[in-house]
Amino acid sequence: MTSATTPPSAADRNGEIDDRRTLSELYALLAKCFVHPDEPFHRAVRSGEFETAVRDRLERLDSDSTPSPAPSAEESHADLRRAYLQTFEGFDGPSAPPVESVYEPWWDGRERELLSGPAEADAKRRFEAIDADRPDAYPADHLAVLLEYASLALEAERDDEYADFHARHFDWLSAFADRVTETADAPFYEWAVEVLEVAVLTAKRRYLDGGTAFDRGEPG
């Protein structure tokens, strides 16, 4: 990546837009919304650089809808970090954990709202299968980690693996978005979840529901 927030331009050697790479970059960008924000990320959000990068990729993918304009982020890095903690980690009140196991049934079919469920076990297996590193700070089914895996699968042109992963690991996001709406008071992170839903639904429509194949600018 060329910076902490902005991946390189998505163009193939013929100058044609590469949808696969564009979607990979979009996932990598969105993953940064769901980890503890660092100072470069805060600067990119405050300057509008982050929103521009996200919208550029959504436009290239002919997204299903246009997200609302990004709200002004917190003025200080410390305030943005506090908003993240309040939104996703239960700092001083209810929250919406960005972890799949919280929203999915366990092995016995019951919904327990606990960490380390079947979703994490499957995500760990997938990372191990491709010998990919994942951050120790987050469980394997943390949203940021899942988005990074989807990005890696697309970058490696493992389209069948990406399709299976998307079907198995992104079906909880509507429940997560509902929880954010119910509990959050952080406009930037609410916007990030809105953009995430647009991105995932666009990918599902275009590439997973009988839509067009990934376009690499080559004859079909």
pLDDT along the chain (220 residues), means of 10: 48 56 97 98 98 97 92 95 95 87 65 63 84 82 95 92 92 95 96 97 85 48
The SS3 call for residue 138 is coil
pTM for the model stands at: 0.84
The whole-angstrom separation of Cα 135 and Cα 149 is 11
Secondary element (H or E) of residue 214: none
CB 215 within 8 A of CB 16: yes
Q: What is the pLDDT of residue 220?
A: 36
The SS3 call for residue 17 is strand
CATH H-level superfamily of 19-208: TorD-like (1.10.3480.10)
In the numeric block, the tokens 């491709």 are attached to 130
What's the N-to-C CA distance of the chain in angstroms?
A: 30
Q: What is the pLDDT of residue 212?
A: 52
The tokens describing 141, both together, are 């089914």
Q: What is the pLDDT of residue 107?
A: 41
Cα-only R_g, the chain:
17
The whole-angstrom separation of Cα 172 and Cα 203 is 15
Cβ neighbors of 84 (< 8 A, separation 6 or more) are: 36, 37, 186, 189
Residue 105, φ and ψ in degrees, nearest 5? -65, 150
Q: What is the pLDDT of residue 2?
A: 38
User: Which amino acid type is present at position 99?
Assistant: V
